[in-house]
Amino acid sequence: MHPSSISIDSYNYSLPDERIAKFPLEVRDQSKLLIYQDGHITDSRFHELPSILMPDDLLILNNTRVIPARLILYKPTGGAIEVFCLDPVEMGHQDAMAAGSGVRWKCLVGGAKKWNDGLLIGVDIERSIGLVRCNAACIERVNDAFIIEFTWNDPSMVFLEFMDAVGKIPIPPYFNREVERSDLERYQTVFSKYQGSVAAPTASLHFTPEVFAALKENKVQLEELTLHVGAGTFKPVSSETLSGHEMHSEWFSVSRNTIHKLRNRDYNRLIVAGTTSLRTIESLYGLGVQLINGTAAHEMLTLSQWEMYAYDESAPTLTEALDALLKYLDERNLDFLHAASSLLIAPTFNLRLAQGLITNFHQPKSTLLVLVSAFIGSDWERVYDHAMANDYRFLSYGDSSLLWNV
């Protein structure tokens, strides 16, 4: 059965509102850690993770940083319009953050019907040189989103400074509350580096400097990648089957050194922190196959939602695919692979790399829960029943799990 025919109702469970963690614990690594392996479930705490992992295990983390993507701007009449920045247009996230006046973003717009063609909406920002007028103009509509051009009259200002001045961290809608000062720190991982996500890689919110020190002492290897989490992470599956759900493409970056380590299997077991890290490393195989088959896009390597489900026994090996990626980087003298993926990991997907997955407890009828099912099979229901019966906290600020598929 092709996974597109999977009924999303198979991934439903009762999640009372009081079980959703609306605020983080005072100490990140004091969260509960459910461990699933070989059909057995045990309970631990996240700060004990370093003693659970083994020397030479490889742990992969997503070092993306959440941006204040919810911008509040004002029409000339004084009415507020919310603009939610999704992705920059014709440039990468880092370049867009450092861009001056005239940068364009793909955005969702609240109250879009009130935004007439040619209407400038904006806000004044207090800077050392005085008030800076910042404007936003709608350039065109793209499906349910808009291309918005942002301009301002201070040549020394960059877009990230504009965001910091008028934007808010886009906490999940199921918190049912406004952003608080604590979210500015706690809705970021302690190792976040590269600006671009509109949602946190929540599986990694539990890590602390103390946990990293203990991992290092236990000789656990660490590698980082970057996947900028898009707004699609909050998008529920509204169709009856997965065939009607469109995964939004997300930009990622993986270093040549990481790909080389994966190719040579220079580690014991591979554990990924978060569904974003899992989707990224599993996408590498598909992109390598594209290069081998001559079907790769010329501008940027891009993997579609169902592409990898068409592979059969005649498909290239994992080693061949990773070799193709390394050759691609060598020919272009690149240290990092920049690509995009809309891969949906569902049952029947052939997981080629990860043996362990660190992840939180996800919403009912979500693609993230489908991914967990692909990783550990139908036992996801036992895992979630156990978490519900043992007072685990759910969703982004909730508790964690370590799931093994070996």
| CB contact set of 128 (below 8 Å; sequence gap of 6+) | none
Q: Which of 173, 172, 209, 174 is nearest to 189 (CA)?
A: 209
pLDDT of 354 reads 97
Inform me whether the pLDDT recorded for 38 exceeds 70: yes
Position with higher pLDDT, 33 vs 266:
33
Inform me whether the pLDDT recorded for 390 exceeds 90: yes
pLDDT of 132 reads 79
pLDDT of 129 reads 67
pLDDT of 118 reads 59
Least confident range of 194-198, 252-256, 370-374: 194-198
pLDDT of 199 reads 92
pLDDT of 327 reads 97
User: Tell me: the pLDDT tens digits for 294-325?
Assistant: 999 877 899 999 999 999 989 999 999 999 99
The neighbour count for residue 232, using CB atoms within 10 Å, is 17
CATH code at 3-66+184-404: 3.40.1780.10
Tell me the pLDDT of the chain averaged across its residues.
Answer: 92
Q: 240 vs 112, 236, 366, 406, CA distance in Å? A: 29, 11, 12, 31
Q: Which of 316, 373, 328 is nearest to 346 (CA)?
A: 373
Inform me whether the pLDDT recorded for 124 exceeds 80: no
Helix 256-264 / helix 275-293 crossing angle, nearest 10 deg: 80
pLDDT of 190 reads 98
Position with higher pLDDT, 378 vs 1:
378
Residue with tokens 């990694």, as numbered in its chain: 204
Domain range summary for the chain, segments of one domain joined by +: 3-66+184-404, 70-168
Position with higher pLDDT, 216 vs 143:
216
Inform me whether the pLDDT recorded for 114 exceeds 70: no
pLDDT of 53 reads 98
pLDDT of 112 reads 65
Inform me whether the pLDDT recorded for 123 exceeds 80: no
User: Tell me: the pLDDT tens digits for 68-86?
Assistant: 999 988 777 777 788 899 9
DSSP letter string, 114-145: G--TT-EEEEEEEETTEEEEEEEEEEEEETTE
Give whichever of 96-110, 116-130, 149-163, 252-266 has the largest mean pLDDT: 252-266
Task: Answer whether 139's CB lies under 8 Å from 128's CB.
Answer: no
Q: 153 vs 105, 123, 124, 134, CA distance in Å? A: 18, 12, 10, 7
